[in-house]
Amino acid sequence: MMRPQAADRYRSQNSARRIVIISRDNTRTYTFSPLALFGGLTLFLTVSLGFLAATTYLVFRDDLFDLVRERNADMQQAYEDRIARLRSEIDRISSRQILDSVAMDEKVEKIMSAQQGIADRQRAVGDLIDKARSIGLIDGRNAAITADKRAALDPADVTGSVNAYADAGGANLIDRQFDALTSTAPKAAAAKVDLRTTDGKPDFKAIASHLAAVDAEQAKAVEAIADAANSRVDAAVEIIADAGLRVNVPEAPADSQDAVGGPYIPMAGAQALAAAMQEADQAFGRVALVKAAAARLPLVRPMPGGDMTSNFGSRRDPFLGSLAFHAGIDFRSPTGTDIRPTAPGVVTVAGWSGGYGNMVEVDHGNGVTTRYGHMSRIITHVGDRVTRDTVIGEVGSTGRSTGPHLHYETRINGTPLNPINYINAGNRLASLLP
């Protein structure tokens, strides 16, 4: 029976692996434990796998690089395409914003230009109103009326008979046509106009429409001035004609509705206002002409402070007591009171003239003359040009006279006519064309 130590040695020798190498006379024996053998096998497999992996890498390296490069290129192209799309979208948005900004600037510029044009035209309208005031077409006594009342003012109301004109209120009836120029109603209406869209942005269409409406209102206001001026001129000409006198004033532009036609082409606000301004200028020219013509006619009272003591026409002669024709009217006034002519003209008679006593006759042109009799002193000479401010003599009682007074006559082509008709016509003209 073996001892334990011998048994362990035998198991150890039997468990080891031996490799015997015999070469000729030499014999070598290598003994490997199982652990060493496992380690060697593991190392061999590791080296083999590493070699295989290295060989595989070397063989497929170019293909892998190509695949990676292709993938990177695809990714780069995708990013570049996306960036290009984003840039294009940004450019489109920027371009649209620029176009919107340019369009906005153009609209604002147009609106500002239109507003400046309206301001300039408003100044022209203001100058026109001042001119109308300067020639007596507008005063501060008129009460404001609405546009519908203005439309009711038919020119026929003020160009009919003189009596109808006076009964209708005279100049005040025409003056009301100017109320649209100073009324606050258009301003209040303008303040209520909403010139913004629902999102609070400027509504350029509403603004343009509002400015066009302002242009139209300006044109209507100027047309009202022209209509009123022409109405006054027509009324003044009729007043003078009813008194038996004539004035040469151009006719107002015809507005007949007979035998007319053509397509309707509305005028722009500025054009309509320019046409209305031209019409108003022509009307003002007619006003100036009729006022100048009236100023050359004997239409004023020769002795403002004197009482009228004898009318024109038949009367009982103060010396004979029988009916006789009185060719003028008499104004009582103290001796020495200054006498002035009732219209400018040229002195044709200045001296003693029978029953007139000291008499001055003034020729006013167009066959119109006036006579001033019974003067105590004559202060003018034949051929002198006189005005309404020229003193031509002094009140007296020369000739057939019962006391100091002025005998005043108005003659047309040598025929004596009632001076009171011309004085009354002058009073009406003074209220019509102050």
What residues form DSSP beta bridges with 20? 29
Share of the chain above pLDDT 90, in %: 25
What is the pLDDT confidence band of residue 146, given thresholds at 50, 70 and 90?
A: very low
The answer to whether the beta carbons of residues 381 and 362 sit under 8 Å apart is no
Two structure tokens written together for 212: 């066009």
Collapse the DSSP code of 81 into the 3-class scheme (helix H, G, I; strand E, B; otherwise coil) and give the result: helix
Angle between helices 204-242 and 269-295 (to 10 degrees): 20
Distance, in Å, from the CA atom of 218 to the CA atom of 118, rounded to the nearest integer, reads 9
Check whether 171 has a pLDDT greater than 50.
Answer: no
What is the pLDDT confidence band of residue 415, given thresholds at 50, 70 and 90?
A: very high
CATH code for the domain defined by 307-432: 2.70.70.10
Q: Both ends of the chain: CA-CA distance in Å?
A: 171
Tens digits of residue pLDDT in 352-410: 999 999 999 999 998 999 999 999 999 999 999 999 999 999 999 999 999 999 999 99
User: In terms of pLDDT, which residue wins out, 421 or 16?
Assistant: 421
Q: What percentage of the chain's residues is helix, strand, coil (to nearest 5)?
A: 55, 20, 30
> What is the length of the chain?
434
CA angle, 383 then 386 then 392, to 5° = 90
**DSSP conformation letters of 37-60:** HHHHHHHHHHHHHHHHHHHHHHHH
Place of tokens 């040695």: 9
Give the per-residue SS3 of 361-398: EEEEECCEEEEEEEEEEECCCCCCEECCCCCCEEEECC
Place of tokens 């722009």: 268
Which range among 269-278, 292-301, 351-360, 412-421 shows the weakest confidence by mean pLDDT? 269-278
Question: Can you give the residue ranges of every domain in the chain?
Answer: 107-250+267-295, 307-432
Tens digits of residue pLDDT in 257-266: 454 444 544 5
Which range among 58-72, 88-102, 156-170, 353-367 shows the weakest confidence by mean pLDDT? 156-170
Collapse the DSSP code of 283 into the 3-class scheme (helix H, G, I; strand E, B; otherwise coil) and give the result: helix
Q: Which residues contact 129 (CB under 8 A, 6 or more apart)?
A: 138, 178, 181, 225
The answer to whether the beta carbons of residues 31 and 15 sit under 8 Å apart is no
The answer to whether the beta carbons of residues 356 and 373 sit under 8 Å apart is yes
Query: Could you say which DSSP state residue 396 is in?
Result: B
Check whether 145 has a pLDDT greater than 50.
Answer: no
